[in-house]
Amino acid sequence: MTGIVLEARGLELSFGPTPALRGADLAVEAGEILAIMGPSGSGKSTLLHCLAGILTPDAGEIEFAGRRLDTMKEAQRSELRRDRFGFVFQFGQLVPELTAEENVALPLLLGGRKRAAALAEARSWFGRLGLDGLEARRSGELSGGQAQRVALARAMVTRPDVIFADEPTGALDSLTGEQVMDLLVSTAREHGTTVVVVTHEPRVAACADREVTVRDGRVTTAFMERMAS
Amino acid sequence: MISLGIRLALAGGREALARLVVIACAVAAGVGLLLGMLAAINGVHSQDNRYSWLNSAHSTDTPRSGVDPLWWRLSGDAYQGERIGRVDVAATGTNSPVPPGIPRLPAPGEYYASPALARLLADLPADQLADRYPGHLVGTIGSTALPGPDSLVIVVGRTPAEVKAADGSHEITSITTTPSTDCDDCPVGPKGSSVILILSVTAGALVFPVLILVGMATRLSAARREYRFAAMRLVGATPRQVSVIATAEAALAAAAGVAIGFAVFPPIRLALVRMDFTGTPFFLSDLSLNLWDVLLVVLGVPVAAAVAAGIALARVRVSPLGVARRVTPPPPRAWRLLPMLLGVAELAFFIGRRPNTSAGQSMAFTPGMVLILGGLVYAGPWLTMVGARLMVGRSNDPAVLIAGRRLADDPKAGFRSVGGLVLALCVTTGSVAIITAITAERGLPEIYTAGAGAAVDHTVLGSYLTGWGDDGRPTGAEKPLPASVTTQLRAIPGVAGVTVIHADPLGTPDPTEHQGPVGAARQGGLASCEQLAGTPLFHTCAAGAQTATTAADFDGFGVDIGSNWPRQWPTSSVPAAQLDGLPVLDVVVGTTGSAATVERVRTLLEGTYPDRAMAPWTLSEYRTQAQGQLSSFQRLANTVTLASLVVAGCSLAVGVAGGLSERRRPFSLLRLTGVQLGVLRRTVLLESAMPLLVVSGVAIGMGFLAAELFLKAQLGYSVRSPGAMYCVMVVGGLAASLGVITSTLPLLRRITGPEAARND
């Protein structure tokens, strides 16, 4: 896939009386690693959730691979999240009742893959991400870094077009965070996967090809930021 | 998805396992009780069929040709309050129909008896029972012809002339198989439809609290499940897939519960055998289940549990980011009281407008009751909110403030855990109030209590009066009582006195009938003052009088029917010497109440005046029979109440424990900030106790009000004080509930330790 894979135009979204997005525009190139930065409450996570089809904007359009995401039904968006997108969040994305390998296999199982085949595919990611021997552990038995790598494996197992990462290193110490980020970037580059990462850490943003900032619900580029200041 | 749901249910750790066990146990309890009720309904049907042959003379079956008619006479006898069904038969040829359970018709001088009666005949001296039946035992009646294993039934062989001459004899050409439920004129049988209606309502009343418990258990560790479902939604699970997983979990637990329920059914069945709510215990084999019952339970209960689980989770919309942002739900409005008030108005409407048929009465009162019960549950959150606001008031206690604000913000959640208990209290109060009032209205007046009541109860009455003619003369009078019989009666140990009530040749009006019907005055009876002095309970004569005009009908002894007897009977001018030659209306025999005395008196009177439709009886036997079904329903009501309270108590425990577990973090943080454990304990206690006590008060009031309206409309009675037992039940129930809440408090210390406050 080349060219623009994901594009948002004039997104607006409010939570009750509080506006979170006020006409946000963004275009993401295929294979690009894009960092979205911004202060707390600026709307960066809300923008990511809209781009991923988790939230539906009040106004504006989102297009993914030529299809309107904002007008899709919930079931279609679920399907898209399962087959074309992957997610790595700060915490809370692993199902505690399942083992690590079952967590990785979950998107495949939800897609109707047979259990044995799904688990085999899941296990193939453990070695690549340095998780050997942790297949049978539950999320409570994993360290923060290990849990994030399992989440990364789960995000990659369907070979998605886009990975959405929301503060993926936010709950980790700097060394572990760096390791996770390196893995995310290298794996994405290896497979040509687009990555949209929300972060407030410049260290994480430095791994990206491009960086945008969200301020008061609108997207600005680093160049515009510098001009403004 | 289903297999994933099952996998998650089984591998979800201790909380998921606890949820699974609680749901399974709740469903097992519900299934066991439901199976019991279905078996009881089948038992009533089977028993009704077993009774049918006794109604052969009253069936509407088409007469069969080519059959030798059978002379048939059905009458009632008694032994120690137990009814004995007696059928006198006389064949008119070799082709006469034969009742079920016996190989052939008994010849004159022979009889077949049920096993229970055969044992009594063998064990008792002949003058207490066997002398009532002419001839000898030739065999026992098989179980196919017996309503229950302990039934006392006898088929006596007579000559056609003997049966034909007896009161109430018929010629029949076939033995009917039509159950009494489908035969309006049939005198014998439980008339199963009303019993089945009550059993059906009971089954419903039992299932309701069980479904509440299933709903409560489904919400156990809801936060953890919502977290898990959100994670699944994030990686692409559709809402439908999440719903399938949740339903599979509930259905798995319900399926386990169904299996356990079937396992506990045999002991429940054994208990039901003795619960004779038709007046006759069941055969164990009659309490069986058919294929449809099994299918209904096996398929219906897991579906119902899954629906209950679905309803419990319906309020939660799981998005990929977690449970949809929670907002404070709008407060409940006062119009939530409307259904309850409509129920009250509906019941009140039928005061003075009671429908004539039992079906009409059922249609009239059931909607009102349902509206009140459903309305109570619907109004519960509003009552909780009002109570919470009043509680907060100007209180300075932080526990009151936290508990009050939480209840006022989400009163539905506060009421949910106590809803089952409140409902159980309302049902208990209503049923106890109704049964207490009926029992009180039909009980002995105060004048007969304190010793005298027992003497009245044990007086044997041979009543031969069948009514009054248009001219006011008593009908049915028997021939004069031979002096030898009077002597024999007096000679029986335990007989206190014998009073014979004769037909009055002067036709003096009955002194107890001054409030009687319009028309020719009913004539009274005539008794010797000497005999009346021997049975002083039934009042005396004026000083110096030899004979007196008495009630013609001693039925009820002036206690149950027409309690307006004069304290002194008016003097009659008929000389005492003339009495022995006069026809007899009643023979009143005072006894000490010993079984042998009563049965000897009964046997002697039956021998003297055979072939009467009704055997001599005592007031206590009458009461036992009249109140037998009432007592059975009281037992059934007690069982339902107890089961409902237990299930509701479980709901409360699950609700409180689940609520504590859900709020582990905020409570831990409060403790970290220095809030004492005692404050948290009081908060938890208040959150459950306040709605429980406030809504219970309303539930008890509504129970009494509904009972009062029903009693007024249906029977013209009023609610009486329900007695100490009820108070003990209510106070005990509420105390036990508070105990259940208190028992969860130690959990608070364990789950709110500093480690619980950490971020996940």
* Residue B372 neighbours by CB distance under 10 Å: 25
Give B19→chain A minimum CA distance, Å.
14
Interface touch B231/A94, C-beta < 8 Å: yes
Query: For residues A224 and B408, what is the distance between their CA atoms, to the nearest angstrom?
Result: 50
* Residue B682 neighbours by CB distance under 10 Å: 19
Q: Which residues of A touch B8 (CB under 8 A)?
A: 95, 97-98
Give residues with Cβ within 8 angstroms of B492, minimum separation 6.
B597, B600, B601, B604
Instruction: Note whether B529 and B545 are within 8 A (CB).
Output: yes
Give A186→chain B minimum CA distance, Å.
22
Interface touch B236/A109, C-beta < 8 Å: no
CA separation, residue A165 to residues A6, B59, B376, B401, B503 (Å)? 15, 84, 50, 42, 107
With residues binned 3-state (H G I as helix, E B as strand, rest as coil), the percentages for chain B, rounded to 5, are: 60, 10, 30
Q: Is the dihedral of CA B49, B51, B53, B57 positive or negative?
A: negative
* Residue among A15, A74, A94 minimizing CB distance to B239: A74
Mean residue pLDDT of chain A comes to: 85
Give A211→chain B minimum CA distance, Å.
25
Instruction: Note whether B101 and B142 are within 8 A (CB).
Output: yes
Size of interface A-B (CB pairs under 8 A): 74
Query: For residues B393 and B191, what is the distance between their CA atoms, to the nearest angstrom?
Result: 57
Chain B within 8 Å of A49 (Cβ-Cβ)? yes
Half-sphere exposure of B549 (CA within 13 A, CB side): 17
Q: What is the pLDDT of residue B452?
A: 54
Q: What is the pLDDT of residue B315?
A: 55
Interface touch A109/B4, C-beta < 8 Å: yes
pLDDT at A184 over 80: yes
What is the tens place of the pLDDT at every residue in A54-106?
Answer: 888 999 999 998 899 888 888 888 888 888 888 888 765 777 777 888 888 88
Supply B723's token pair. 């007695």
Q: How many residues does chain A have?
A: 229
Chain B within 8 Å of A54 (Cβ-Cβ)? yes
Q: How many residues does chain B have?
A: 760
Give B236→chain A minimum CA distance, Å.
4
Query: Measured over all CA atoms, what is the biggest interatomic distance in chain A, rounded to whole angstroms?
Result: 56
Domain ranges of chain B: 1-56+186-327, 62-175, 336-450+626-760, 459-591
What is the tens place of the pLDDT at every residue in B269-323?
Answer: 888 887 766 777 888 888 889 999 899 888 887 787 777 666 666 655 566 666 5
Give ipTM to 2 decimals: 0.74
Give A228→chain B minimum CA distance, Å.
34
Interface touch A97/B321, C-beta < 8 Å: no
Higher-confidence residue of B20 and A191: namely A191
Q: What is the pLDDT of residue B326?
A: 46
Residues in chain B with pLDDT values less than 70: 1-2, 9-16, 184, 190-211, 214-215, 217-224, 276-277, 308-329, 358-359, 439-455, 513-520, 536-537, 556-565, 623, 625-642, 669, 672-674, 753-760
Q: Which residues of B touch A109 (CB under 8 A)?
A: 4
Chain B within 8 Å of A87 (Cβ-Cβ)? yes
Rg (CA), chain B: 33
Query: For residues B443 and B432, what is the distance between their CA atoms, to the nearest angstrom?
Result: 16
Higher-confidence residue of A62 and A115: namely A62
Q: What is the pLDDT of residue B447?
A: 44
Give A107→chain B minimum CA distance, Å.
6
Give residues with Cβ within 8 angstroms of B319, minimum separation 6.
A54, B230, B233
Average pLDDT in the A10-34 region?
Answer: 89
Q: What is the pLDDT of residue B656?
A: 79
Q: What is the pLDDT of residue B375?
A: 93
Q: Which residues of B touch A110 (CB under 8 A)?
A: 1, 232, 235-237, 241
Q: What is the pLDDT of residue B274?
A: 74
Q: What is the pLDDT of residue B115?
A: 95
Instruction: Kindly state the helix (H) or strand (E) to which residue B427 belongs, with its residue range.
Output: helix B419-441
**What secondary structure does DSSP assign to B4-27, as a single string?**
HHHHHHHSSHHHHHHHHHHHHHHH
Q: What is the pLDDT of residue A226?
A: 56
Which residues of B fall below an 8 Å CB-CB distance to A? 1, 3-4, 7-8, 11-13, 16, 224, 227-228, 230-241, 319-322, 325, 760
Interface touch A74/B319, C-beta < 8 Å: no
Which residue from B266, B243, B312 is spatially nearest to B23, judged by alpha carbons? B312
Q: What is the pLDDT of residue B324?
A: 45
